């Protein structure tokens, strides 16, 4: 079978992760990195790999099977994914949950018109967590869903702290409340408020002479981001932040707690992720779904899909025969 030729659109954390993931999948190859920046300033790690201006993407129509669109969810992907779906099969990691229906409709219209496949919102949440919520709901219709995130870095919350006056740098960790996770695992089906599910830990480097009490106050009372949580603020040096808080770990749990029969037999389904690198893990999922996008396109399928629509066998590099022999 011919290799899946993947175009990497945008070279940030996810773009770099996709490049690394392709190297672990011998049936895939990188067809090039496409950036909005000056290609000369973008250094990639693949020997002999090429960086092109994204404006030249159309010229590579015959060299690429699937474009993995690696831009940010806030402003890049809503524009880039439907635009690129007019010419290519696309996969993205769009994660603004509330806007997924709108993004789906835009990618669907573009992909149907051009006869391509688009798979959106691929990753772990949305993505693998979504799949596990669906499996849990389908199998245990009488039950409750719980999703806990962390311990992990939230880029959005870290950025929000950096915008507070007097802050030089910051890292924010989302941490699940252990007692809440235990109560769920015990089948107690608790009703949990936002505050009872997660705490927020902030590591902050203050600018010289800044008012630390004021910074702490401004963080813990920040609406939407921190006010609804128990938040702790630790002031540390830039050296300490660089040394101990440089990674991008994340993870979490999806738990379905349900009962069958007359309700006395209880069941817990749990899916757990513990990730040293959120972007590298997310990118590994994106590459598996790029393989699926090519297979679907080869079968003549077109339009937008989510992880719910992709049969698991399409994700694997193994043949149906091999999967049945080794994994069933």
Residues of this chain that bind ligand NDP (CB under 6 A): 10-15, 35-37, 54, 70-73, 93, 95, 123-127, 278-279, 282
- Supply the minimum distance, in Å, between the C-beta of residue 248 and ligand NDP: 8
How far apart (Å, rounded) are the C-alpha atoms in residues 268 and 259? 9
Closer by beta carbon to ligand NDP, 73 or else 199? 73
Q: Which is nearer to ligand NDP, 91 or 117 (CB)?
A: 91
Q: Among residues 258 and 279, whose Cβ is nearest to ligand NDP?
A: 279
Q: Which is nearer to ligand NDP, 37 or 324 (CB)?
A: 37
36 vs 162, beta carbon nearer ligand NDP:
36
State in angstroms the smallest separation of the CB of 9 from ligand NDP: 7
Minimum gap (Å) between residue 165 Cβ and ligand NDP: 24
Sheet holding 28-35, edge to edge: 51-53, 28-35, 4-9, 66-69, 89-92, 117-119, 303-305
Least Å distance, CB 175 to ligand NDP, is 18
Least distance (Å) between residue 96 CB and ligand NDP: 7
Nearer to ligand NDP, 127 or 303 (CB): 127
Nearer to ligand NDP, 15 or 143 (CB): 15
The CB-of-124 to ligand NDP minimum distance in angstroms stands at 4
Written in H, E and C, the secondary structure of the chain is CCCEEEEEECCCHHHHHHHHHHHCCCCEEEEEEEECCCHHHCCCCCCCCCEEEHHHHHHHCCCCCEEEECCCCCCHHHHHHHHHCCCCEEEECCCCHHHHHHHHHHHHHHHHHHCCEEECCCCECCEHHHHHHHHHHHHCCCEEEEEEECCEECHHHHHHHHCCCCEEEEEEEEEECHHHHHHHHCCCCCCCCHHHHEEEEEEEEECCCCCHHHHHHHHHCCCCCCCCCEEEEEECCHHHHHHHCCCECEEEEEEEEEEECCCCEEEEEEEEEEECEHHHHHHHHHHHHHHHHHHHHHCCCCEEECHHHCCHHHHCCCCHHHHHHHCC
Question: Closest residue (Cβ) to ligand NDP?
Answer: 12
Closest contact distance (angstroms) between CB of 35 and ligand NDP is: 3
- When the beta carbons of 124 and 146 are compared against ligand NDP, the nearer one is 124
Alpha carbon separation from 26 to 2, 8, 204 (Å, rounded): 11, 17, 42
State the minimum distance, in angstroms, from the CB of residue 270 to ligand NDP: 18
């Amino acid at each position: 079978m011919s290799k899946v030729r993947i175009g990497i659109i945008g070279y940030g954390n996810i773009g770099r992760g996709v490049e690394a993931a392709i190297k672990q999948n011998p049936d895939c190859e990188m067809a090039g990195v496409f950036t909005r920046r000056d290609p000369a300033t973008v250094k990639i790690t693949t020997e002999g790999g090429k960086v092109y201006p994204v404006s030249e993407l159309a010229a590579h129509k015959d060299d690429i099977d699937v474009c993995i669109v690696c831009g940010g969810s806030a402003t890049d992907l809503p524009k880039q994914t439907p635009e690129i779906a007019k010419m290519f099969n696309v996969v993205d990691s769009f994660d603004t949950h509330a806007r997924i229906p709108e993004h789906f409709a835009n990618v669907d219209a573009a992909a149907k018109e051009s006869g391509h496949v688009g798979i959106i919102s691929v990753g772990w949440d949305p993505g693998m967590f979504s799949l596990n919520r669906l499996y849990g709901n389908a199998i245990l219709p009488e039950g409750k869903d719980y999703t806990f995130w962390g311990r992990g870095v939230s880029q959005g919350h870290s950025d929000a702290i950096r915008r507070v006056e007097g802050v030089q740098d910051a890292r924010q960790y989302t941490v699940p409340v252990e007692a809440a996770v235990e109560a769920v695992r015990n089948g107690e089906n608790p009703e949990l408020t936002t505050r009872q599910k997660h705490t927020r830990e902030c590591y902050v480097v203050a600018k010289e002479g800044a008012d630390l009490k004021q910074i702490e106050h401004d963080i813990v009372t920040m609406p939407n981001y921190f006010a609804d949580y128990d938040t702790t603020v630790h002031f540390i040096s830039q050296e300490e932040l660089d040394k101990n808080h440089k990674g991008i770990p994340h993870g979490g749990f999806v738990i379905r707690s349900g009962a069958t029969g007359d309700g006395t037999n209880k069941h817990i389904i749990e899916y757990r992720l513990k990730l040293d690198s959120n972007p590298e893990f997310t990118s590994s999922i994106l590459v598996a779904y790029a393989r699926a996008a090519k297979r679907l396109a080869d079968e003549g399928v077109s339009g937008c899909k989510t992880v719910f629509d992709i049969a698991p066998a399409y994700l694997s590099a193994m043949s149906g025969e091999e999967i049945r022999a080794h994994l069933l």
